Structure 1
Amino acid sequence: MKTLITSLTNEKVKYWRKLHKKKGRKENKVFLVEGLHLIEEAWNSKQVIIEIIAEETVELPRWSGNIPVERVSKQVFEHISQTMTPQGIAAVVQIQPQREMKGNQFVLLDAIQDPGNLGTIIRTADAAGMDAVILGKGTVDIFNDKVVRATQGSLFHIPIYEADLVHKVDELQKGGFDIWATALEKADYYHEVEVPDKVAIILGNEGAGVHPDLIELADKRIKIPIYGKAESLNVSIAAGILMYHIKQ
């Protein structure tokens, strides 16, 4: 039986702490997942779980028999945890290589910086049956712990890619896609635009919106009507409205 890890200066503990940073995740090609629900989502989605980290009193899931387990003290787990109320169980999960992108309905995200917004958009894209989410430059890291939690496991269900959106828009247009960009000026209301067979929606930064260069490249500029006095919609809410619209 492995020795219980109780020291905050243990090399394994230092390694797990490195995974809090994008650099550490990128170098090691793994990320941390906390909580039984998300770990089980990873397992059910055939993700590669490198190891499970659990407090000594936490019961392990029945399916975890062949996965290496590191038992740690409560103090150590709290040291590596990034949640306010840790559940005492986490896992190191392998980052999957990007595969060829397939499908007819995509969401392109331009510099979405709030982890909660990104996670919610991914979760909604999964629920709406979108084929992929594409993250442009300036977008928060998909493996940021707050993003992972906000997806509620959907990051394991829907393909997620990173790309230069200018190049990706050109590539998609050559493949017969209509590109819709959300904009305030010279834009049509989304429900008045015919939905084509192949469509990709660009949503932009919470404060600045979609970059003007991407708006210029788009085939259609669309907007959502505001019936009340709010100045604008949260980007994740706007994403949900538009994704479900193109699925009708």
Structure 2
Amino acid sequence: MGLLSARAISSLQNPTVKAVRALHMRKERDETGLFVAEGLKNVIEGIDTGHAPRILMHGPDAAAHPMMRKAVQATQGSGGEVIEVTHDILAKVSRRENPQAVVGVFPQAFRPLEQVEPGPAQCVVALHRVRDPGNLGTIVRTADAAGCGGVILVGECCDPYSVEAVRATMGSIFAVPLTRATEAEFAAWRAGWAGSVVGTLLTAAASHAEAAYRKPALILMGNEQQGLTPEMAALPDLNVKIPMRGRADSLNLSVATGIMIYAATA
């Protein structure tokens, strides 16, 4: 057992290993309020933003990494557990043949809708019924890069704390405040928004690059297949279009959202 570890586990049947593996299922994440973040870099990102792991798993070779001591101290200092595990356990926990040497289990964090603030970039992103965890994770990462005040998930969305979404955030899952709301809750809250509420429509007259955005901007994006529903499309006071100059008639949701974030915060 490594010097930094409280204990070592080598059995795939260990209850803690089973519990961490189960966090791949949304039902288990919803019931426990926990999620898995892979890689020492992501674990440190969580710690640096005030999120200590409940469980820190690491392989035999990871104990020598200079940042491991920080991760261990933060975990143990908050009452969490540090466990040395085998490569096979790491592979099962992450469901990857070449797993990261460190895995952290963290509490989920959702911010109430009434506490949403635009942040330094004067921008918040709202996503209606986003379905693809890779898109969602990439949007969270882009919102972080632009300094946005948060991402609001409206209606039935995919889980931002799924392993796939967390991977796509590249650590930004810890930096960007997340909020969940029903369509009715969002519509009522949107009525008090001080700046522009911006939607994207193919029929819009204004280009995304030329529109007159009033900050703070609330960017509302629809899902990958249908875009905004008629009910949600009625909420923006400013609709814009991203011109399609080639043969493609649409953009990936995460790309389109990134374009809108930087247009609205320029």
Q: TM-score, normalised by structure 1?
A: 0.92
RMSD: 1.8
How many residue pairs end up in the alignment? Answer: 248
Please say if 1:85 is aligned against 2:98: yes
Q: 1:5 and 1:49, CA in 2 relative to 1: closer, same or farther beyond 3 A?
A: same
More divergent stretch after superposition (21-30 vs 117-126): 21-30
Please say if residues 58 and 101 of structure 2, whose CA atoms lie closer than 8 Å, have aligned partners that are also in contact: yes
**Which of structure 1's runs of 4+ aligned residues deviate more than 3 A?**
none
Please say if residues 110 and 180 of structure 2, whose CA atoms lie closer than 8 Å, have aligned partners that are also in contact: no
- Map of 2:86 onto structure 1: 73
Give the share of equivalent positions with the same residue, in percent: 32
Q: Distance in 2 between matches of 1:35 and 1:53?
A: 10
- Map of 1:25 onto structure 2: 29
Q: 1:72 and 1:6, CA in 2 relative to 1: closer, same or farther beyond 3 A?
A: same
Deviation at 1:175, TM superposition (A): 3.5
Q: Distance in 2 between matches of 1:197 and 1:75?
A: 50
Please say if 1:102 is aligned against 2:117: yes
Q: 1:171 and 1:97, CA in 2 relative to 1: closer, same or farther beyond 3 A?
A: closer
Please say if 1:40 is aligned against 2:48: no
Please say if residues 82 and 145 of structure 1, whose CA atoms lie closer than 8 Å, have aligned partners that are also in contact: no
Please say if residues 181 and 202 of structure 1, whose CA atoms lie closer than 8 Å, have aligned partners that are also in contact: yes
Q: How do residues 79-228 of structure 1 correspond to structure 2 at under 5 angstroms? A: 79-99=92-112, 100-103=115-118, 104-228=122-246
Q: 1:165 and 1:84, CA in 2 relative to 1: closer, same or farther beyond 3 A?
A: farther
Q: TM-score, normalised by structure 2?
A: 0.87
Quick one: which amino acid aligns to residue 55 of structure 2? E
Give unmatched runs, 5+ long, in structure 2: none
Quick one: which amino acid aligns to residue 25 of structure 2? K
Q: 1:175 and 1:3, CA in 2 relative to 1: closer, same or farther beyond 3 A?
A: closer
Q: Distance in 2 between matches of 1:3 and 1:169?
A: 50
Deviation at 1:198, TM superposition (A): 2.6
